[in-house]
Structure 1
């Protein structure tokens, strides 16, 4: 049965009642939602799992440094996954899971002066890249590995102390838990849900906006965090009203994608605007406008508008509305 929701936004009293999605609806193909590796929660709960994986030459290790990893050269994007090396154990590896009987670990060498302690680059390595740069080009297994490693890296770098007492925590369960040695509390990687929505009016124009801190010409669909005690549908209604003063209806859930920059889960929707007069909140939005397909294509081609990267769910929502890939900027149009 279609999921239905009725609620009132926290701003302006906008009311929405209607379907969220159909059970037979095909969701978006999202670059960072792909994964084939079994996270093996039971296995990572075993304190000996990481040591066994390090002793197994078939194990593959993903090295991260400052949120980046090494990429191999070749016809397609591929991660520089290597066997375990001496020194890996000193870096407190994270157990990413297992696929086709191969264990995958990640090690953080951000504070290393060079890569020698964790094996250094293999022949054919073409340097350090981020998930934003290559996530859309990796295969399903490697996209899932790098997404998970990026999320864990961000969490471990910023959550080293117990939030209850301030004691430095210990990494346990293969990197998936930090335990306080003082009070015994356990802390898990956080994920912050955020909605992102393609708002279309009755003339089938798409609403795109420029964030207050963005460079001129960069545009995207609206997005915002789900607040405490709030459903994701209510967050869509509230965020659209807060950011541009619109009421929306006919919410359709289109898919979700992890966005570990540093710790979000993006929940994608389409929605229909009940009004079209835009009143941007200047603290959030520099400018906002309605775009017809031909107009948007011309502006992108001329370099007058810059879209989100292909790895983002925002780009997929925009191109779903557009009906296919948008043109790349012409050489003459690139600013």
Structure 2
């Protein structure tokens, strides 16, 4: 029994023209600036979200000057309005509970500073696409300050979409690392879930791993599952993909079939716990979080959530 995703993963939604030719066109950018909107992202990866988590609380770009600031990135244009983002320092000394990343925020009528994991599932399509792009670009900027060839400092050009080495003039573009994520089921009514050692007890997801050099996606699926839980899979099939800028991954989703009778052998240091669970329990855990003892699932912003949701509804 196979299945398809019931909808796009939360961070794959986008409703804006990315406007690649516009990034280096200073004349057109200047003409768009008076009506442009600015999204502020802090160094904790958060932005201000309004209307109970459904849209970004953007601001008139002109509040930031009479032209785009040097550190502003162009996210795209829609209906004659250009959207930019700028990175600002987070509030000094602010304490953010570590547990916040593992569950949805308590949405209020007041604007809130939320990160992409928290807000990605509730934002409208346009806001989700804008925030995902901004988060990905700022992560790339953070990790690419020096040239990989000669070590000199890099300079950003074309509205933050190209880094140019100040020494050897080497150009680099935003990096994306390919990773597979696979929902393993038995072809009937059981699915395999697991958690890493850094996850809290009772919080589970599906298996994932990075693609190695010279490796196909399907080969990576088979290798990662064998390495992480010690079982072989068959009938590997593509489902969909989602950007995951933590820091710069593209999650490529698959399903595969395995035999629940095959013993699980967990990779030390990578998998703390893995188990087979029923379709009925997954469905209940999604519909009413906390209703199935010991079965909390991946957050709604992740493709893992969409995969589990889709599989649970496929029967």
TM-score range, shorter chain: 0.7 to 0.9
Alignment of 1:82 with 2:59, yes or no, is: yes
State the distance in 2 between where 1:81 and 1:223 align.
34
Instruction: Indicate yes or no: 2:50 matched with 1:60.
Output: no
Moved over 6 A (4+): none
Cα–Cα, structure 1 residues 319 and 160, in superposed 2: closer, same or farther, change >3 Å? same
Corresponding residue number in structure 2 for 1:329: none
State the Cα deviation string for residues 226-260 of structure 1 (Å, max 9, x = none): 11111111110110111111111111211100011
Instruction: Give the aligned partner of residue 22 of structure 2.
Output: 43
Change (3 A) 1:108 1:50: farther
Consecutive unaligned residues of structure 2, counting only runs of 5 or more, are 93-108
Q: Deviations 1:135-155 (Å, cap 9, x if unpaired)?
A: 111111111000000111111
CA distance in 2, matches of 1:143, 1:240: 30
Give the TM-score normalised by structure 2: 0.84
Q: What is the match of residue 262 of structure 2?
A: 276
Match of 1:292 among 278, 287, 296: 278
Report the Cα distance in structure 1 between the residues aligned to 2:41 and 2:133, rounded to whole angstroms. Answer: 11
Partner of 2:124: 139
- Asked if the contact 2:195/2:273 (under 8 Å) is kept, the reply is yes
1:92–1:125 CA distance, 2 compared to 1 (3 A): farther
**TM-score normalized by the length of structure 1:** 0.79
Name which one, 1 or 2, has greater alpha-carbon Rg: 1
Given candidates 16, 26, 30, the residue that maps to 2:9 is: 30
Shift of 1:213: 2.4
| Cross-structure match for 1:304 | 294
Hey, what's the Cα distance between the residues in 2 that align with 1:300 and 1:169? 47
Q: Show the 5 A alignment for 1:1-335.
A: 28-53=7-32, 56-66=33-43, 67-72=45-50, 74=51, 77-84=54-61, 85-87=63-65, 89-110=68-89, 126-274=111-259, 276-296=262-282, 297=284, 300-323=290-313
The answer (yes or no) to whether the contact 1:50–1:93 under 8 Å persists in 2 is no
Give a deviation string over 1:259-312, Cα, whole Å, max 9, x none: 111111111111111563211112211111111133454794144222110111
Gaps of 5+ in 1: 1-20, 114-123, 325-335
Calculate the aligned-residue CA RMSD, in Å: 2.4
User: How far apart are the structure 1 equivalents of 2:276 and 2:64?
Assistant: 57
